[in-house]
Amino acid sequence: MTIAQEPTALNFECETGNYHTFCPISCVAWLYQKIEDSFFLVIGTKTCGYFLQNAMGVMIFAEPRYAMAELEEGDISAQLNDYEELKRLCDQIKRDRNPSVIVWIGTCTTEIIKMDLEGLAPKLEGEIGIPIVVARANGLDYAFTQGEDTVLAAMANRCPDKAPVAEAEKNERNAIHKLLNFGKKKEDVAQEESEYVDHPPLVLFGSLPDPVVTQLTLELKKQGIKVSGWLPAKRFTELPVLEEGYYVAGVNPFLSRTATTLMRRRKCKLIGAPFPIGPDGTRAWIEKICSVFGITPQGLEEREAQIWAGLEDYVKLIRGKSVFFMGDNLLEVSLARFLVRCGMTVHEVGIPYMDKRYQAAELAMLEKACEEMGVPLPKIVEKPDNYNQVQRIYDLKPDLVITGMAHANPLEARGINTKWSVEFTFAQIHGFTNARDILELVTRPLRRNNNLKDLGWDKLVREEAKI
């Protein structure tokens, strides 16, 4: 490609949408672990159950707090009464597990037979005395991580809208607050309060493992920013207060519905920032939050440089190499941006769904990164077509393809390095601390191949084998 042909702005395309991804109901796998007092009831068919059972691997054996309400022929043909059936199952869940919330996950089937889950839930909630949150995380409308988005959007409506009056009680309710003040004397707590700058309350949204929550919270604390709460919290009973005028910021790129709900329904103000993935993203995320509160960030530049220095042994493995994202989990733009900063060339960013408004800051940062690193801008392909992508991969011969499990082994057998994309969803990748984990994943196939490179075992399918 000559310089003259290089696009000057990001090029967006949309293909047929025939791509492989996880069904959004997979979000129950990480959300039931995150929200400790929840129970997720997936109302669907054997197909949904089979997917969950296989996708969650060993988790299934650990008596998970999720179950299928498996629809039978009588449910489909409305010979059975939906309300009575759901009541029977929810009663059983209440008896066996006594959760603080039951989350109903609507599926393709409940959509098609138009089961009015949103209508049934409040009635049943009143009867059994447990909150029922309805999220329509189905494959008709959404892909993979967007499942979390639908659940959090529904949860956003359950956040209390008034801070409790008594200060003591407030402290009780706020898990992070308590966590940070753990073991400290009252005077110290008061002293610490003064370490924060006076700014309007900030609530972060997106489900992250608890250690990452702590890391990001402390990262903001260094700038004098207090995190009033997280959506979701460790327990449903600890959902953060959301009053009109609170500020909110997302930590993941797939949370556009949640962001919309927080803005429109809860009248919060969204801080549109790149996402704290990679040291560059983390710094930009903190800087943006600081700038909204009129704070001058302290020591961020040094912090970022220090992290980059620590990554050098990994970065030198991928510098100058190329990567192709087939697209399945919506983290693609942020990861592409970080990898460009690591010196990689990105051929294509496949992505299931592109919310240009919610991801605006991230897209701008990707563009800037490409410009500054002197690499061509990638093509962003929404709703990709996996078949076409594989043909492009054959042509481009990228050094690394980030893809789903359906394509990983066949590509490897054809001598193309792959990294399984789903791992990025389950690994800890946010903040300064975890930048190394991202590169640990990205470089693994390359390191493996360095070990095997002299064996001549690159292509393991016969020439005549068709794709």
Instruction: Please identify, using beta-carbon distances, which residue of 10 and 405 lies nearer to another protein.
Output: 405
Q: Output the CA angle 303-304-306, nearest 5 degrees.
A: 65
Q: Is 409 in the site for another protein (CB under 8 A)?
A: yes
Q: Is 426 in the site for another protein (CB under 8 A)?
A: no
Q: Is 23 in the site for another protein (CB under 8 A)?
A: yes
Q: Is 112 in the site for another protein (CB under 8 A)?
A: yes
- In angstroms, the CA 407 to CA 19 distance is 10
- In angstroms, the CA 26 to CA 31 distance is 9
Contact predicate 331/424, CB 8 Å: yes
Listed ranges 1-9, 220-228, 294-302, 409-417: which one lies at the site for another protein (CB under 8 A): 409-417
CB-based contacts of 251: which residues, under 8 Å, 6+ apart?
A: 204, 205, 206, 208, 216, 275, 276, 285, 430
Q: Which of 141, 188, 195, 372 binds another protein (CB under 8 A)?
A: 141
Angle of helix 210-221 relative to helix 278-292, nearest 10 degrees, comes to 50
Closest distance of CB 419 from another protein, Å: 15
E-strand stretches of 326-425? 345-351, 379-382, 400-403, 418-420
Contact predicate 66/103, CB 8 Å: no
Which H/E stretch holds residue 123?
A: helix 117-128
Q: Is 394 in the site for another protein (CB under 8 A)?
A: no
Q: Is 408 in the site for another protein (CB under 8 A)?
A: yes
Q: SS3 for 46?
A: helix
Instruction: Please identify, using beta-carbon distances, which residue of 21 and 322 lies nearer to another protein.
Output: 21
Q: Is 240 in the site for another protein (CB under 8 A)?
A: no
- In angstroms, the CA 27 to CA 151 distance is 8
Listed ranges 182-190, 268-276, 400-408, 446-454: which one lies at the site for another protein (CB under 8 A): 400-408
Alpha helices in 129-201 (DSSP H): 146-156, 167-173, 175-180, 186-193
- In angstroms, the CA 115 to CA 260 distance is 25
Closest distance of CB 69 from another protein, Å: 5
Q: Is 243 in the site for another protein (CB under 8 A)?
A: no
Count of residues engaged in binding another protein, rule: CB under 8 A: 66
Q: Which of 35, 135, 136, 138 binds another protein (CB under 8 A)?
A: 138
Closest distance of CB 36 from another protein, Å: 18
Q: Which of 387, 448, 450, 458 binds another protein (CB under 8 A)?
A: 387
* Nearest alpha carbon to residue 365 among 259, 272, 255, 256: 272
- In angstroms, the CA 6 to CA 1 distance is 7
Q: Is 24 in the site for another protein (CB under 8 A)?
A: yes
Closest distance of CB 393 from another protein, Å: 12
- In angstroms, the CA 205 to CA 250 distance is 5
Contact predicate 108/145, CB 8 Å: no
Instruction: Please identify, using beta-carbon distances, which residue of 26 and 359 lies nearer to another protein.
Output: 26
| Site mask for another protein (CB under 8 A), range 317-346, x = bound | ------------------------------
Q: Is the peptide bond before 211 cis (omega within 30 degrees of 0)?
A: no
Instruction: Please identify, using beta-carbon distances, which residue of 19 and 205 lies nearer to another protein.
Output: 19
Binders of another protein in range 26-45 (CB under 8 A): 43, 45
Residue 379 pairs in a beta bridge with 11, 348
Instruction: Please identify, using beta-carbon distances, which residue of 91 and 243 lies nearer to another protein.
Output: 91
Residue 91 pairs in a beta bridge with none
Q: Helix/strand/coil (H, E, C) string of 221-257?
A: HCCCCCEEEEECCCCHHHCCCCCCCCEEEECCCCCHH
Instruction: Please identify, using beta-carbon distances, which residue of 71 and 377 lies nearer to another protein.
Output: 71
Cα atoms in the 13 Å half-sphere on the side-chain side of 386: 18
Q: Which of 7, 13, 78, 140 binds another protein (CB under 8 A)?
A: 140
Q: Output the CA angle 281-284-286, nearest 5 degrees.
A: 110
Listed ranges 21-29, 156-164, 252-260, 276-284: which one lies at the site for another protein (CB under 8 A): 21-29
Angle of helix 386-396 relative to helix 405-413, nearest 10 degrees, comes to 30
φ and ψ of 210, to 5 deg: -55, -40
Closest distance of CB 412 from another protein, Å: 8
Closest distance of CB 181 from another protein, Å: 35
| Site mask for another protein (CB under 8 A), range 58-97, x = bound | --xx--x-xxxxxxxx-xx---x----xx-xx--xx----
Instruction: Please identify, using beta-carbon distances, which residue of 61 and 182 lies nearer to another protein.
Output: 61
Q: Which of 136, 337, 407, 419 binds another protein (CB under 8 A)?
A: 407
Instruction: Please identify, using beta-carbon distances, which residue of 214 and 260 lies nearer to another protein.
Output: 260
Q: Which of 406, 426, 452, 458 binds another protein (CB under 8 A)?
A: 406
Which residues bind to another protein, rule: CB under 8 A? 17-24, 43, 45-47, 49-51, 53-55, 57, 60-61, 64, 66-73, 75-76, 80, 85-86, 88-89, 92-93, 108-109, 111-113, 138-144, 387, 390, 404-410, 413, 460-461, 465-467
